[in-house]
């Protein structure tokens, strides 16, 4: 009985210490100053007169391809689809204050881990539902197509595959921005093994863990809550499948399509496939990276990102829960 009591006392001290460390980190992050400039280009274009097009082109040259004549933009001002898209954006985003606060918090976290990072200017726009480029991040600009965040059941997304439409929700916007940033510091591996690519995506999701501590796991990876529950419940069986099929060190490109690329479901080639969410290989890579980070808390974010996948995997001591 004494031994058990000592164990729980030590465990309690460890939990309290961990919480205190997290609190200190968040206090330090909140103290970081961030000046965020948000420009509602969707508003400026919607309210423009034809004679203002040259002024807009001068202010936003990156949004007006040189080969497109002014007459096209003038027609867009009264285009039915453009007007309807803007009307629906205004319903979903009567203002951008909530998202602006979330972006400031996100950039505070980024600057904590990457102190020299220059916060980009944020420009919101109507992208005509270019869902595969709903967030574009450059050195100085963050472009957000607001018409890609109207909710999965929106009429504009009718006919889309569910695995695409489910992420077209404002709840996933910050995860998209964090993911765009993660790609700027997380190098795609030269090693072509399935393990290396799983760990690459796992690192990207772990960056989201650091930058979005209040986001749900489902929001970070783009799953529904039900899909996340399925992944957690079947983690051990998935891992056993990867081991038994000797997939970890395979360089077969088909594994990307089966387990890493966006898709309606993952392809184990079993009856249960239709129950699965896509991209489960990313989920498994995430758990490997999390295991490593938990066992090596002294390793910095950048040190972890630089670590080869094989080394990280071996030192993670990853063992999925049964």
Query: pLDDT by residue (tens digit) across 194-251?
Result: 999 999 999 999 999 999 999 999 999 999 999 999 999 999 999 999 999 999 999 9
% of the chain residues with pLDDT over 70: 93
Residue 3 pLDDT class (50, 70, 90 cuts): low
Angle of CA points 191, 288, 267, to nearest 5°: 75
Residue 8 pLDDT class (50, 70, 90 cuts): very low
Residue 269 domain flag: yes
Judge whether residue 22 has pLDDT over 70. Answer: no
Residues 158 and 214 in one domain: no
User: What does the pLDDT read at residue 15?
Assistant: 45
Residues 57 and 102 in one domain: yes
Number of domains in the chain: 2
Q: Of 249, 253, 270, nearest to 261 (Cα)?
A: 253
Q: Of 271 and 10, which is predicted with more confidence?
A: 271
Residues 67 and 172 in one domain: yes
Residues 148 and 266 in one domain: no
Residue 34: partners with Cβ closer than 8 Å, 6 or more residues away: 104, 107, 108, 111, 119
Residues 159 and 71 in one domain: yes
The residue ranges of DSSP E strands in the chain, in sequence order, are 38-40, 121-125, 135-137, 141-145
Residues 121 and 248 in one domain: no
C-alpha distances in angstroms, 205 versus 34, 80, 93, 242? 24, 39, 27, 20
Residues 169 and 199 in one domain: no
Q: Look at residue 79 and give its three-state secondary structure.
A: coil
Residue 15 domain flag: no
Answer positive or negative: Cα dihedral of 223, 228, 234, 240: positive
Q: How confident is the model over 112-126, as pLDDT tens digits?
A: 999 999 999 999 999
Please compute the mean of the pLDDT values over residues 1-25 and round it to a whole number: 55
Residue 250 domain flag: yes
The four Cα atoms 69, 71, 72, 78 give a dihedral, to 10 degrees, of: 160
Residues 209 and 168 in one domain: no
pTM (2 d.p.): 0.91
Residue 1 domain flag: no
Backbone angles phi and psi of 184, in degrees to 5 = -80, -20
Q: Of 314 and 12, which is predicted with more confidence?
A: 314
Print the domain residue range for 69.
Answer: 38-176
Residues 156 and 203 in one domain: no
Residues 250 and 144 in one domain: no
Residues 46 and 171 in one domain: yes
């Amino acid at each position: 009985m004494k031994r058990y009591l000592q164990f729980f006392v030590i465990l309690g001290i460890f939990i309290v210490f961990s919480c205190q460390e997290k609190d200190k980190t968040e206090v330090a992050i909140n103290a970081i100053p961030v000046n965020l400039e948000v420009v509602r280009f969707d508003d400026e274009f919607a309210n423009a007169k034809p004679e203002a097009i040259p002024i807009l082109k001068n202010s936003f040259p990156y949004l007006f391809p040189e080969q497109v004549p002014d007459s096209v933009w003038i027609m867009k001002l009264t285009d039915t689809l453009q007007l309807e898209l803007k009307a629906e954006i205004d319903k979903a985003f009567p203002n951008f204050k909530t998202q602006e606060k979330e972006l400031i918090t996100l950039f505070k976290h980024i600057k904590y881990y990457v102190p020299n990072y220059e916060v980009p200017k944020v420009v919101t726009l109507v992208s005509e539902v270019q869902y595969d480029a709903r967030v574009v991040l450059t050195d100085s600009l963050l472009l957000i197509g607001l018409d890609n965040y109207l909710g999965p059941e929106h009429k504009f997304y009718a006919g889309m595959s569910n695995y695409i439409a489910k992420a077209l929700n404002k709840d996933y916007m910050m995860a998209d921005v964090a993911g765009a940033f993660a790609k700027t510091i997380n190098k795609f591996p030269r090693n072509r093994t399935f393990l290396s690519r799983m760990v690459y995506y796992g690192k990207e999701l772990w960056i989201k863990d650091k930058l979005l501590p209040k986001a749900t796991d489902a929001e970070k990876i783009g799953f529904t809550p039900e899909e996340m529950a399925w992944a957690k419940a079947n983690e051990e069986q998935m891992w056993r499948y990867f081991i038994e099929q000797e997939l970890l060190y395979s360089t077969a490109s088909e594994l990307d399509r089966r387990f890493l690329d966006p898709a309606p479901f993952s392809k184990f080639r079993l009856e249960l496939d239709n129950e699965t969410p896509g991209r489960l290989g990313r989920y498994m890579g995430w758990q490997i990276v999390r295991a490593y980070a938990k066992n090596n808390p002294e390793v910095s974010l950048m040190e972890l990102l630089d670590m080869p996948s094989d080394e990280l995997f071996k030192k993670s001591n990853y063992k999925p829960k049964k």
